[in-house]
Structure 1
Amino acid sequence: MKNWKQTLVLAAALVATSAHAGAIDSLKKFNQDTDGLSGSFTQTVQSKKKNQTSSGTFQILRPGLFKWDYSRPYKQTIVGDGKHIWLYDIDLKQVTKSNQDQTIGDSPAAILSNKTALESSYTLKEDGSAGGIQYVLATPKRANAGYQFIRIGFQGDKLAAMELKDGFGNQTAIKFNNINTKPNLSRGTFKFVAPKGVDVLSN
């Protein structure tokens, strides 16, 4: 009877281990196989004062090109063309232009648009599963990184979620949907031209 119980416990442990063993492999396969990416997202930012939820669509062409279109609760477009980031606030009729390398740092845009960004700047380990999503925990290798941690979630080999906590304690949760890893994208997709009558500010 004792041996039977030990076997059962061992089997349960092996099942639990195998269930949590694939997130890093999924991340590495995702980075290796994915040159382009598109889909929709819902993003919730939780700060000490309030929570704010927004949603929209995104497009990524690796390396370094991305476009995030926020549609709710406000309309805003963020484009990275490889050299500059263009932030277009439609309601304010204002565009802010900044250097891409200096601006995005270790942000989700940088991580998703660069195959090597995560492993070069973060230490990775398995971080369990929740709601059918397996997570990788990424902790920064340098003390002055922009984030305390980043969690990236996969359902199988499909990107499903990201969770981030910045240096100020604000937490961001992103859920991805309608993921397409073979989108028909060209570099021209990420060329931004400011609309007429819109103020352009440079950082």
Structure 2
Amino acid sequence: MQKKQMFATFAAMLALGIGSAHAGAIDALKKFNADADGISGSFTQTVKSKKKTQTTNGTFQILRPGLFKWQYTSPYKQTIVGDGKTIWLYDVDLAQVTKSSQDQTIGDSPAAILSNKSALDSSYSLKEDGSAGGIDYVRALPKKNNAGYQYIRIGFKGDALAAMQLKDSFGNETTIRFNNVNMKPNLARSAFSFTPPKGVDVLSN
């Protein structure tokens, strides 16, 4: 997966930290956006494009405001860390680290929901979006035409975060299934610092 697509997909994932979705799912979503401090768990991600389908697995940790760690464990190993100022992408196989400004990388993407509590109302229109397979969905539509995303669907099974679906402006579809979700993880800010390993190339994006 190319670096730009990786950042875009990751930014979309950061919209995941959102509450219960029974009747009144939007109210629960807004309540979580106002109250939640952290979330952690594991995931399976499938990206479907016109040419191929790729599935990856890993774990994630988020601590508000603006700290996150996303680790892909198979079929390749990559780590993405946001320390509040810089996003670091460490590709183990390539022995390469790419760093980007966190504000510029996130911009008006769904990741802004993580970093800025006002982004939910300012950047997205929300509506209830039905149920499928026992999962209840909320659909978030970007208010700006150049957001890069057609829509995001966030799904819950009971009170548990269960799935997320994203379709970007190129027609690529990303589906994420969540497991072992902890809405009150005991996370330390120090866990979100990153120092490039010795011997790797460090590039600025």
Task: Give the alignment's TM-score, normalised by structure 2.
Answer: 0.84
Deviations 1:47-68 (A, max 9, x none): 0001100010000001111000
Q: What CA distance in whole angstroms lies between the structure 1 residues aligned with 2:144 and 2:156?
A: 25
Q: What CA distance in whole angstroms lies between the structure 1 residues aligned with 2:118 and 2:160?
A: 18
Q: What CA distance in whole angstroms lies between the structure 2 residues aligned with 1:146 and 1:53?
A: 22
RMSD: 1.7
Q: In the alignment, which residue of structure 2 is the partner of 1:151?
A: 153
Runs of 4+ off more than 3 Å: 105-116
Amino acid at match of 1:42: T
**SS of alignment partner, residue 21 of structure 1:** coil
Shift of the alpha carbon at 1:181? 1.2
Q: In the alignment, which residue of structure 2 is the partner of 1:16?
A: none
In the alignment, does 2:120 pair up with 1:118? yes
Shift of the alpha carbon at 1:119? 2.6
Q: Is the 8 A contact 1:106 1:147 kept in 2?
A: no
Q: Percent identity?
A: 79
Match of 1:132 among 108, 113, 134: 134
Indicate the larger mover: 180-189 or 35-44.
180-189
Deviations 1:162-189 (A, max 9, x none): 1111111101011111011111111111
**SS of alignment partner, residue 168 of structure 1:** coil
Unaligned residue ranges in structure 1 (runs of 5+) = 1-18
Distance 1:108 1:41, change over 3 A: farther
Match of 2:184 among 163, 182, 185: 182
Deviations 1:6-34 (A, max 9, x none): xxxxxxxxxxxxx9633212312322332
**SS of alignment partner, residue 188 of structure 1:** helix
Match of 2:77 among 75, 78, 94: 75
**SS of alignment partner, residue 89 of structure 2:** strand
Q: Is the 8 A contact 1:66 1:113 kept in 2?
A: no
Deviations 1:134-172 (A, max 9, x none): 111111111111201011112233222111111111010
Q: In the alignment, which residue of structure 2 is the partner of 1:105?
A: 107
Q: In the alignment, which residue of structure 1 is the partner of 2:14?
A: none
Shift of the alpha carbon at 1:107? 4.4
Q: What CA distance in whole angstroms lies between the structure 1 residues aligned with 2:110 and 2:84?
A: 15
Q: What CA distance in whole angstroms lies between the structure 2 residues aligned with 1:133 and 1:121?
A: 25
**SS of alignment partner, residue 49 of structure 1:** coil
Indicate the larger mover: 42-51 or 180-189.
180-189
Amino acid at match of 2:83: D
Distance 1:108 1:84, change over 3 A: same
**SS of alignment partner, residue 85 of structure 1:** strand
How many residues in Structure 1 have an aligned counterpart in Structure 2? 185
**Superposition pairs of residues 48-59 of structure 1, within 5 angstroms:** 48-59=50-61
Shift of the alpha carbon at 1:118? 2.8
Distance 1:63 1:108, change over 3 A: same
In the alignment, does 2:191 pair up with 1:160? no
Amino acid at match of 1:66: F
Distance 1:37 1:20, change over 3 A: closer
Q: What CA distance in whole angstroms lies between the structure 1 residues aligned with 2:61 and 2:159?
A: 18
Amino acid at match of 1:141: K
Name which one, 1 or 2, has greater alpha-carbon Rg: 1
